[in-house]
Amino acid sequence: MILLSDETHIEKIYIAFFEREFSADLKAGLLWLTASILVIYLPVLNETPIKAAIVIPGILFFPGYYLIAALFPKNIDIGFTERIALSFGVSLAVVPLIGLGLNFTPFGIRLDPVIIALTLFILGMILIAHYRRALLPSDERFQVPSFGIAGTLRQGVFSKAGSRFDRCLTVIITLAVLGAVLLTIFMIAIPKEGERFTEFFILGEKQKAADYPVWVRIGQQYPLYIGIRNHEYRNVNYTIETWKLRMEFDTLTNASRIERMDLDSRFTLPLAHNETKILPYNLSLDKNGYNRVEFLVFDKDVSGFEVTGSDRMNASYKDLHLWVSVRTP
């Protein structure tokens, strides 16, 4: 039996990671991380049910399990049955907190940042758990019981030790945790379809909703960005048009009317559900007289060019515009 109390920190780290073998449950976590990354990013596997079967149960169990493993490295700290039960509850608390933290970063709650954050968290907890276990004598380190998980859970839940009330309470808590886990898996695997809509937005030169050009010079380019996000629960081939307009105010009707409307650009943009594209667009006016730039998007039927003016704007799915003033040299 080797004690590490008299070793330096560097020697402890060397002994822990180069002379001590990872226990079976920690190896399982490393294997799960590898399998999860493969099924998420490999083109063949990421469209099969294997992805949900591997990733979702792991997310609902492993973050909590390895956090508990890092906090309680001894086999007497907490029972195996309690570890399993608490792992689900702790995971349901840890994963949303990681998402909340990402929401306040420039990365946001997107697939890649979430995967990286969860991977780093679980990997960090595995390394801490292994290090803390390696510092303990071999007979004090936590190990998965040799007679199997099923037997351990059966013994913990249906043990005759304790009062009948304690056994009933254990069964109720176990069923409640199991039900919550299954319900969460169902909601993630089969999400409820929400409202169908498309986000259409124009950003300034710094890709923010600000710094739009107000005064423009003839022939000079002003960088903008056209953004579109698909929430239609289907693949959509969008058609985006930009038009240069001259608007005049009619004092008789007390309304603006279109005096001139010229097509500037037109392109199609296929997007899958939940996909976002932000494309650069250079605003440039080639002649005086324009005072408005119109951005139109069509999702299904694209009107022919015989439809012009306000009728074309009304026929579009979404429309945005910028008012500009031409600055003479």
Is the model's pLDDT at 258 over the cut of 60?
A: yes
The model's pLDDT over 191-221, given as tens digits with 9 standing for 90+, comes to 566 678 999 999 999 888 888 998 999 889 9
Q: Band the pLDDT of 2: cuts 50, 70, 90.
A: very low
Q: Any residues with CB less than 8 A from the CB of 226 and at least 6 apart, and which?
A: 201, 202, 240, 278, 279, 280, 281, 295
User: 65 or 170, which is more confident?
Assistant: 65
pLDDT, position 286: 83
Residue 90 lies in a domain: yes
The model's pLDDT over 86-125, given as tens digits with 9 standing for 90+, comes to 888 888 889 889 888 888 888 878 888 888 999 999 999 9
Average pLDDT over residues 275-304: 90
Residue 164 lies in a domain: yes
> Are residues 103 and 51 located together in one domain of the fold?
yes
> Are residues 26 and 168 located together in one domain of the fold?
yes
> Are residues 134 and 201 located together in one domain of the fold?
no
Q: Are 148 and 84 a contacting pair, CB within 8 Å?
A: no
> Are residues 148 and 185 located together in one domain of the fold?
yes
Count of the separate structural domains present in the chain: 2
> Are residues 111 and 206 located together in one domain of the fold?
no
> Are residues 235 and 136 located together in one domain of the fold?
no
Q: Band the pLDDT of 83: cuts 50, 70, 90.
A: confident
Domain boundary (154, 189, 224) is at 189
> Are residues 46 and 146 located together in one domain of the fold?
yes
Residue 139 lies in a domain: yes
> Are residues 143 and 213 located together in one domain of the fold?
no
Average pLDDT over residues 170-175: 67
**Residue 212 DSSP class:** -
What does the alpha-carbon distance between residue 75 and residue 291 come to, in Å, rounded to a whole number?
75
User: 293 or 108, which is more confident?
Assistant: 293
pLDDT, position 184: 60
Residue 168 lies in a domain: yes
Share of the chain above pLDDT 90, in %: 29
Is the model's pLDDT at 225 over the cut of 90?
A: yes
Q: Any residues with CB less than 8 A from the CB of 74 and at least 6 apart, and which?
A: 136, 140, 141, 142
pLDDT, position 176: 67
**Sheet strands side by side (includes 292-298):** 255-271, 236-250, 292-298, 318-323
Residue 74 forms beta bridges with which residues?
Answer: 141
Long-range contacts of 181-190 (CB under 8 A, 24+ apart): 181/60, 181/61, 181/88, 184/60, 184/92, 185/56, 185/57, 185/60, 188/52, 188/56, 189/52, 189/56
Residue 95 structural domain? 9-189
Half-sphere exposure of 126 (CA within 13 A, CB side): 22
Average pLDDT over residues 67-81: 86
Domain boundary (164, 189, 214) is at 189
Binning the chain into helix, strand and coil, the percentages to the nearest 5 are 45, 25, 35
Domain boundary (170, 189, 208) is at 189
Q: Band the pLDDT of 223: cuts 50, 70, 90.
A: very high
> Are residues 207 and 139 located together in one domain of the fold?
no
Of 82-86, 200-204, 223-227, least confident by mean pLDDT is 82-86
What does the alpha-carbon distance between residue 215 and residue 325 come to, in Å, rounded to a whole number?
5
> Are residues 57 and 147 located together in one domain of the fold?
yes
pLDDT, position 185: 59
- CATH code, domain with 253: 2.60.40.10
> Given the structure tokens 């780093």, which residue do they identify?
120
- The amino acid sitting at 247 is M
